[in-house]
Structure 1
Amino acid sequence: MLAKFSVKNFKNFEKKFTIDLSQTKQYAYSEACVKDGIVKTGLIYGPNSIGKSNLGKAIFDIVQNLTDKQRNPMLYMSYTNAMHLENNAEFVYELVFGSSRVRYEYSKPSYEDILEEKFFIDDVQVVSRSWNDFHTDLQGAETLNGNKLDIKISAMRFIRANAVLADNPTNKVVKEFFDFVDRMLMFSHLRQNYYQGFSVGSTQVDVEIIRKGKLKELEDFLNSVDVDCKLKSLKIYGQEKLFFDFGGNHIIDFWENASTGTQALVFFFFWYMQMQGNASTTPSFVYLDEFNAFYHEKTAAKVVEMLRDVQSQVLLTTHDSTLLTNDLIRPDCAFKMLPEYKNSDSYVMGPLSSRTEKELRQALNIPKMFRAGAFD
């Protein structure tokens, strides 16, 4: 699981910004939001243009470094901060796998080029890279030492592609790290259902839902959030298509007639399907940006409830403070992104519970406290 992430000189993050997902408490409510002392389902609140979307882009920069999964380079134009274009962007990931802790640091001048890398397991450095030169102490990768790396190839990716790592506890953690990054997923409804990570290429959402036999489940989901409808699939010119069914022969094309919010719900359901099943094949980490941009508050609450129950680690961003209720999200899993981080050389965004001395009992009205400035 991702425990902490830091970024500096990337887009609007001029100075070092850290989100800490490990500052959890011993609350006896909404316990599904936490796993092994780390936020499993978290909510980031922030006003427009504060950096919520850019935080997601920063976290998912690693997908370019280490995987062949879906990427969106257009999101990474204007890569470094405008005040320091000549400097490198810096990233630090801290992850926990069982009793082992991984730290992966790197710096880049652009989306595709990487200059510095350090990889630690339990504070022991096992990979280092500076410009073209790199060194590793990983068993099975010793013969790769001293190779001249192109700046478009990360050392970790080079090791993954060219070494046969020995079967030992250290390398097991390295493989778990690679697997975690492979299964990271970021998606949003704001840009025509774009996504990064986890998979490759595009698919027709409705066709895939129908193919997996989930049409009735989709219909039930829509009805549960007050989208009163019946759905039907028909094969048109050999291709399954989705329709609203009004009985008899009265059907109309779904995509031509569904509201923006209803379409967004179908896109969400498609990705929610990927979060079902075995933990080894579902997304490891999900970042869903402005997840409720097209949702009524009841619908947004339903989506949060659904995501609490998946095995994936999930971070959601929102403008809606009403979702901060203890019935949905604990105070140690809710974050407030404020402009104050821009004035600090090294800012740590901890949860709401770290921003007050008050005891945050389950019965408290957290949204009301939030709006009154209790966590400013």
Structure 2
Amino acid sequence: MLAKIEISNFKNFKENFVFDLSNTSSFSFNQECIKNKVVNKAIVYGHNGSGKSNLGFAIFDLISHITDKKTEPSYYKNYLNADLDSQIASFKFEFRFDKNILEYSYTKSDYQTLISEELKINGKEYLFIDREKSSIFRTSAKGAENLKKDIGDSNISIINYLSKNTILDDNKDNNIFFKFKEFVNKMLYFKDVDGRNFLGLEQGGHSIFDDIVERNNLKDFEKFLNDAGIICKLVSKKGSESNNVVYFKFKKKEVVFSEIASSGTKALALFYFWYQRIKEENRVSFLFIDEFDAFYHHSLSKTLVEKLKELENTQVILTTHNTSIISNEILRPDCYFLMYPDRITSLAKSTTKELREAHNIEKMYRAGFFE
């Protein structure tokens, strides 16, 4: 699980912006929101321009060089902070796998160009390179003793170089290394209500309705919408390009779903698309949904958070402006985070007052109690 990220000189983040998911408290309620002493379900609040979307892009900067997935360049324009002179952005991640801690730090001059990398497992160096000083990397990985350590002018991550060019021994450190690789490969970010753009697990164009129909989930999707208060009947037909087209079925006629569905209904379709895939296949290790309920009624937002809480093996971070779901009935004070341009802090760490389950933390938030 992701336990902490420190960011410097990336987009709106200047120096040492820290998002710590491991600084939890000892609340006795909603304990399923914490796993291995790390926040497993989190909701982030912040004013427009505070950097909520950029926080997601910072976390998913990993995938551009650790995985084989392509990163959408438009997400990473203006990579460096415009107020600083430094030409290098730095990132430090801390992951926890059971009782083991893996730290991965790196620097970049842009989203494609790596400068340095360091990976530690339980405090001991596992991989290291500083390309400004040498093209030769160090590794303590067992099984890599005869691997060529000089990568020349290649910009390949030494993580990928190591995993693709040698067969590592079966030992504790190597197993943690591969758990890290697998976790990053299964991370997913999405926001676009039309379902066209994703980061991580899957990217680019993807037909939501082809997926729903081919999985024989159309009736279940219909029920999902009805349960959400959108009373409808759905049918599907083959389109001109042999794709599956979903229609709302009325008494007199059938109308293409995408032509009359509201933005909120389209957003629900995208949510359902991913939720079914995550739930059925256990494919996603980490899920970041930006402005997850921008088009939803507040009661529906609560329902969707409860559904996401059912995903025990998926760490979830949501961003929102909806204060109605700040409630101890849904999460707990150490799972709600307040974000500002220079810091992010949980509600639990934003006050010296002891918070209890009976407290109305939304009312306290609106009153400025946590400011």
Q: What is the TM-score normalised by the length of structure 2? A: 0.94
Change (3 A) 1:35 1:63: same
Secondary structure, counterpart of 2:170 in structure 1: coil
Secondary structure class of the residue paired with 1:275:
helix
Are 1:113 and 1:151, in contact at CA under 8 Å, matched by a contact in 2? Answer: no
Deviations 1:159-214, CA, capped at 9 Å, x for gaps: 12112111111100000000000000000036754210112543211110111111
Letter in 1 for 2:364: M
Distance 2:3 2:29 in 1: 21
Query: 1:82 maps to which residue?
Result: 82
What's 1:150 paired with? 153
Q: Distance in 1 between matches of 2:16 and 2:148?
A: 31
Inter-partner Cα distance in structure 2 for 1:20 and 1:299: 28
Q: 1:344: which partner in 2?
A: none
**How far apart in 2 are the matches of 1:89 and 1:167?**
34
Structure 1 CA distance for aligned equivalents of residues 217 and 151 of structure 2: 50
Q: Give, in angstroms, the shift of residue 70 of structure 1.
A: 4.5
Change (3 A) 1:114 1:122: same
- 8 A contact 2:194–2:270 mirrored in 1: no
Give 2:290's aligned amino acid.
D
Q: What 5-or-longer segments of structure 1 have no aligned partner?
A: 342-346
CA contact (8 A) 2:288 2:318 kept: yes
- Establish whether residue 119 from structure 1 lines up as the match of residue 114 from structure 2: no
Measure, in 2, the Cα distance between the counterparts of 1:200 and 1:52: 20
Note if 1:184 corresponds to 2:187.
yes
For 1:353-376, what per-residue CA distance to the aligned partner results, in whole angstroms no more than 9, with x for missing partners? 011122221111111101111111
Residues 70 and 198, structure 1, Cα contact 8 Å, conserved in 2: no
Is the CA contact 2:197–2:205 (under 8 Å) kept in the aligned structure 1?
no
Q: CA deviation at 1:85?
A: 5.2
Contact 2:104 2:119 (C-alpha < 8 Å) held by counterparts? yes
Alignment partner, residue 369 of structure 2: 374
Is the partner of 2:299 in helix, strand or coil? helix
Q: Is 1:245 the counterpart of 2:240 in the alignment?
A: no
**Aligned equivalents of 1:303 and 1:149: distance in 2?**
49
- Separation of aligned partners in 1, 2:248 and 2:194: 24
Q: Secondary structure of 1:305's match?
A: helix
Deviations 1:90-130 (A, max 9, x none): 00110011121100000000110001110000000110011
Once residues 306 and 187 of structure 2 are traced to their aligned partners in structure 1, the CA distance between those partners, rounded to angstroms, is 21
Q: Which runs of 4+ in 1 moved over 4 A?
A: 190-193
Tell me the number of residue pairs that the alignment of Structure 1 and Structure 2 aligns. Answer: 366
Aligned equivalent of 1:326: 328
SS of 2:280 mapped into structure 1: coil
In the other structure, the counterpart of 1:173 is 176
Distance 1:115 1:138 in 2: 21
Q: Distance in 1 between matches of 2:139 and 2:359?
A: 51
Q: C-alpha displacement at 1:230, in angstroms? A: 1.2
Q: State the structure with bigger RCO (CA 8 A, min sep 6), 1 or 2.
A: 1
List per-residue Cα deviations over 1:38-79 (Å, max 9, x = no partner): 111100000100000001000000000110124211100111
Query: 1:97 — aligned with what?
Result: 97
Aligned counterparts of 2:34 and 2:281: Cα–Cα separation in 1 = 19
Question: Residue 279 of structure 2: SS of its match in structure 1?
Answer: coil
> What's 1:357 paired with?
352
The answer (yes or no) to whether the contact 1:210–1:233 under 8 Å persists in 2 is yes
Quote the Cα distance in structure 1 between the aligned partners of 2:323 and 2:59.
Answer: 23
- Contact preservation (8 Å) 1:135, 1:145: no
Q: Which moved more, 1:224-233 or 1:251-260?
A: 224-233
Counterpart in 2 of 1:338? 340
Secondary structure at the counterpart of residue 128 of structure 2: strand
Provide the residue aligned with 2:308 in structure 1: 307
> Residues 249 and 255 of structure 2 are in contact (CA less than 8 Å); yes or no, is this contact kept in structure 1?
yes
RMSD over aligned Cα atoms: 1.6
Q: Are 2:198 and 2:204, in contact at CA under 8 Å, matched by a contact in 1?
A: no
Secondary structure of 1:350's counterpart equals strand
Letter in 1 for 2:126: V
In structure 1, how many angstroms separate the alpha carbons of the residues matched to 2:196 and 2:296?
Answer: 15
Mapped pair 1:275 → 2:275: no
TM-score (norm 1): 0.93
Secondary structure of the residue aligned to 1:148 is coil
